[in-house]
Structure 1
């Protein structure tokens, strides 16, 4: 959700959830997860990491346009006007040039180095949906809901919680083995790099021993991997089918099956590809803006098609919509893994956005049902729900869609208990 400071006119992003939605799972657990993100963000100060501005973890009263009052929890964050990288890469046949991919990968690695070495924090959910661009098209890492100290709960540097996004998960996570947070961040960064430069996934499904692409990396048959990828349907439509040998070498070393074989930060920064040429600012902006406009045009087309079908009195809202191809938005946890699919498709996202824009009352009901589905399919239970709930990719950046106004002159801020008391009184009167 987007908000504006009335005095300065500056825009901010707000991650907001009502008490009612939080209580559908567990209010105390939700507050603990949100508190973890706030505490981590308070420690961070880096040009490529989104900044925390304000927060309220105790709850605050807001008023909707219909006069209804609700209790909400929120985090106010720096607004990244450029949106997330997914918006630039979500259509087949689109990717960054190697130079632009290198530009953003350098910023990503610089931020990861700061997290790992300076702040001793691991992100654990790096993906293109959590990488934002500001007004100057500079990268910003967002969404620290799953972040933790890199030494883990026991101080040994080993972790056991299976969290993150399946298509970006390192094999040790998928195989439910103990893992090092720093290594899974490096693996996810490798997936991000591959997507940026090719517009495709480095796996047919995900990084396990059964995957027809990743099995070549497991066997260290790197020529076989690139040969198989080059013959895939996705690669045939990639604008960057001819990749540099340095790029290929770096990618397979980032995606190594054994975490001990993966490059560490210092080795990445010393790699020949990493130290290659960068685009000029004019070239960067021209390429990025072009991809963004293509994304916008595709989004408009997708929204028009269902409406045209509806006008023809079709019975199904989605009947006239073509499913988008290419890199699909991967929500915090892939709910379609048992069907062999890669994640929630963009048409679901479009429908949710359309419902929200038509009626503010849809925000709660639509998101609750969507997130409940994710929670039911994800084996780690609550943590899957909460990451889905407060992740950047779940919040739709809406201009003037929801007018939440505080009425501090008429009432005082009230507690959760007081709201519950009011609700009980209403039931008694009825």
Structure 2
């Protein structure tokens, strides 16, 4: 066994890495942590590229978040999902390792699965917005970013998967405004050919929670996901939530604040936001409507022109 280098106090002092992982990667620094695990950088010994490795703490995965798979065995739902999904706007799982304490998922946000973070840094979307001149994105850049998120959600929906925690911190973006959805720790899976089930528990982020979730009503995941997209769109365009208070969200009372630095938001963008934030989940837009909305037509064809620059 090859002993783990201790870059984080999260590893027990006597912990040993999976020898196949240790023979392939060298761990770096910790990038962040959540309720079920933490993320560290690692470098491939032979090819030299860097990845982010998510360590899922087995003992912290709740009972409802496990899945029995014919090939993978008894694994967290997140592991099962990451082993299956394949989309340009979703982080790619390169391999799977485990030991007694952890599952390890080497992840790459790069389309070619060979990222070089020193050459082209990746940020979470929150950092990108904070670094922008007016603490928001231009409408053109917001449209491009949002269209990519919609493509990821549309793909997942076709597979019966709902992410359930889409927010700026769970989106990584590079210098070309290419976006990847990350962190499937709250995701749910259902048969895409059958009516979606109702849920009573919520494990996402309250600031993005839909009216029916805040009212503690049974809810379906796909309509709640659309609401989340509406909140995200408001942050992209204005730098603010569309709901000053939780009661505003419960009532579906959308308040679009003035954009920082001036500039008007187009009626088409506001119309799309309103369709996402319809209080009644049965009347709310579905992902097909969102994807086909006129504000998003041609959004992915704009090429490499960007109105703002992400600073290292």
Q: Does TM, normalized by the shorter one, top 0.5?
A: yes
- Are 1:113 and 1:265, in contact at CA under 8 Å, matched by a contact in 2? yes
Counterpart position of 1:42: 83
Write 1 or 2 for the structure with the bigger share of helix.
Answer: 1
Residues 269 and 36 of structure 1: is their aligned pair in 2 closer, same or farther, counting only changes over 3 Å? closer
- Are 1:200 and 1:238, in contact at CA under 8 Å, matched by a contact in 2? no
Which residue among 49, 55, 63 is the counterpart of 2:96? 55
CA distance in 1, matches of 2:288, 2:81: 24
Counterpart position of 1:114: 155
- Are 2:275 and 2:284, in contact at CA under 8 Å, matched by a contact in 1? yes
Superposition pairs of residues 273-352 of structure 1, within 5 angstroms: 273-275=295-297, 280-284=302-306, 287=308, 289=309, 292-293=310-311
Counterpart position of 1:188: 228
- Cα distance, 1:281 vs structure 2: 4.0
- Cα distance, 1:31 vs structure 2: 8.9
Residues 140 and 79 of structure 1: is their aligned pair in 2 closer, same or farther, counting only changes over 3 Å? closer
- Are 2:176 and 2:304, in contact at CA under 8 Å, matched by a contact in 1? no
Counterpart position of 1:263: 285
- Cα distance, 1:157 vs structure 2: 2.3
- Cα distance, 1:107 vs structure 2: 1.1
Query: Is the counterpart of residue 94 in structure 1 residue 135 in structure 2?
Result: yes
Residues 12 and 251 of structure 1: is their aligned pair in 2 closer, same or farther, counting only changes over 3 Å? same
CA distance in 1, matches of 2:250, 2:61: 40
Query: Is the counterpart of residue 239 in structure 1 residue 261 in structure 2?
Result: yes
- Are 2:109 and 2:180, in contact at CA under 8 Å, matched by a contact in 1? no
Superposition pairs of residues 154-233 of structure 1, within 5 angstroms: 156-206=196-246, 210-211=247-248, 215=251, 217-218=252-253, 225-226=254-255, 229-230=256-257
CA distance in 1, matches of 2:269, 2:61: 46
The answer for unaligned runs of 5 or more in structure 2 is 1-39, 68-74, 111-120
Write 1 or 2 for the structure with the bigger share of strand.
Answer: 2
Query: Is the counterpart of residue 139 in structure 1 residue 179 in structure 2?
Result: yes
State the superposition RMSD in angstroms.
3.0
CA distance in 2, matches of 1:250, 1:146: 26
Residues 252 and 96 of structure 1: is their aligned pair in 2 closer, same or farther, counting only changes over 3 Å? same
CA distance in 1, matches of 2:281, 2:76: 30
Counterpart position of 1:65: none
- Are 2:43 and 2:51, in contact at CA under 8 Å, matched by a contact in 1? yes
Which residue among 45, 67, 89 is the counterpart of 1:6? 45
- Are 2:215 and 2:250, in contact at CA under 8 Å, matched by a contact in 1? no
- Cα distance, 1:135 vs structure 2: 6.0
CA distance in 2, matches of 1:177, 1:243: 33
Tell me which of the two structures has the higher relative contact order, counting C-alpha pairs closer than 8 angstroms and 6 or more residues apart.
Answer: 1
* Structure (1 or 2) with the larger CA radius of gyration: 1
Worse-matched range after superposition: 93-102 or 77-86: 77-86
Counterpart position of 1:250: 272
Aligned length: 254
- Are 2:234 and 2:242, in contact at CA under 8 Å, matched by a contact in 1? yes
CA distance in 1, matches of 2:138, 2:171: 17
- Cα distance, 1:90 vs structure 2: 3.1
Residue-by-residue CA offset, 1:258-288 (whole Å, 9 max, x unaligned): 111211122223322122666844432x51x
TM-score (norm 2): 0.72
Question: Secondary structure of 2:157's match?
Answer: helix
The answer for unaligned runs of 5 or more in structure 1 is 60-70, 219-224, 297-430
Counterpart position of 1:78: 108
CA distance in 2, matches of 1:183, 1:239: 33
